[in-house]
Amino acid sequence: MNDWPYPRWVAHRGAGKLAPENTLAAFRLGAQHGYRMFECDAKLSADGVPFLMHDATLGRTTNAREIFGPAASDVGGDHAWNELARLDAGGWHSRAFAGEPLPTLENVSRFCLANGYFLNIEIKPTPGTERETGEVVARHADRLWNNAPVPPLLTSFRPEALEGAMATAANLPRGLLLDTLWKGWLETALMLECAAIVCNHALWDRSSVTQAQSAGFRCLSYTVNDEWAARRLIDLGTDGIITDRVDLFPPT
């Protein structure tokens, strides 16, 4: 990807912690703060619908136990979309967001495409479904953004998910997420034909940035919530900063 079309500043899970993460309410709040690019997490329902959710379980960010009962499975991948669509994904955050539903990837695509916003979709598979989730998310993203001027950036910590995405929609740009610089990270990103490396921001230094950029990758960072950290990354010449603090960093 020679031309990098994405803005530097990316709103984490919509609007960080100011609204219930991975909901359209969070996207709208991030947009109100001037953000034009959003990061979100996508996983699959039991019947293969990509929807937004970070955790492997539903309990932290929905009222799943109230709806399904305390003895019911709390794993998102065990429920069909028509069950997941009943959940409240906002009340856990605050009363102001009570009743906010889980969005599908299709819901989010409509919002982004209607407003000219950019999206980073982190493929977040339920354990054991890594390649399948990469394939399905990529297939839907390719359909939803068909002929859009800028495609979504697909990222994952799981190489198997990115392999699935590459096999299904090689035209969509990919990024390898890293929480450590494990042995072979650069070679893996090259094998997956990634456009970007997305690191825990503390991993970037002059050496790692030079390695990544010399291999042709863009350098992005998560989750940057302090001014000193953002300044360090800008001074290193990195390309993207994912933040919760949409209220602190104007997205210039």
Show which residues are catalytic. 12, 54
238 vs 9: CA distance, rounded Å: 11
Farthest CA pair distance, the chain: 53
* Number of Cβ atoms within 10 Å of the Cβ of 105: 23
Residues with Cβ within 8 Å of 124's Cβ and at least 6 positions away in sequence, in order, are 41, 42, 43, 53, 54, 133, 156
Going by C-beta distance under 8 Å and a sequence separation of 6 or more, which residues neighbour residue 232? Answer: none
| 3-class DSSP assignment, residue 222 | strand
Is residue 220 helix, strand or coil? strand
